[in-house]
Amino acid sequence: MKKLFVVAILLISFGIKELQAYNINDCLEETVVNHLNSKNLLTFIKENDLIGKIQKVCSEEVCSNLNMVTLEQDIKNFIKQHLNYLRVKDNENALEAELKGFKIEKIIFNSCE
């Protein structure tokens, strides 16, 4: 009985080690994008078939995770979060960014899929 218990623990430990071998952070790639604006972010994602591949979107100091199930809502939350960040810094820039959009500086996506 003790041998069976020890073997079971070893198998579980081995299984956990194998799960840790595949680390999502090893698959993340950061891409700097030019001419991408918060107003056309959703269109860019759909046109470039990036739905489900994007992990984060960043602009200046603000980064936000995107989930493919709630993509549109996550983008709205990211825009709102960035506008709040701008309001703290300068209200005029926040108003301009709300009307014209703001620059998306980088996209972090999963390249292993």
Q: 4-48: per-residue pLDDT in tens?
A: 777 677 667 666 655 554 555 667 888 888 889 999 988 988 888
Arithmetic mean of pLDDT over the chain? 82
Say what the pLDDT of residue 14 is.
65
C-alpha distance from residue 77 to each of 5, 60, 63, 71 (Å): 49, 16, 11, 10
Say what the pLDDT of residue 113 is.
60
Write the pLDDT tens digit of every residue in 44-93. 888 888 888 888 999 888 899 988 888 899 999 999 999 999 999 888 88
Rounded to two decimals, what is the model's pTM?
A: 0.71
Contact 105, 33 (CB under 8 A): yes
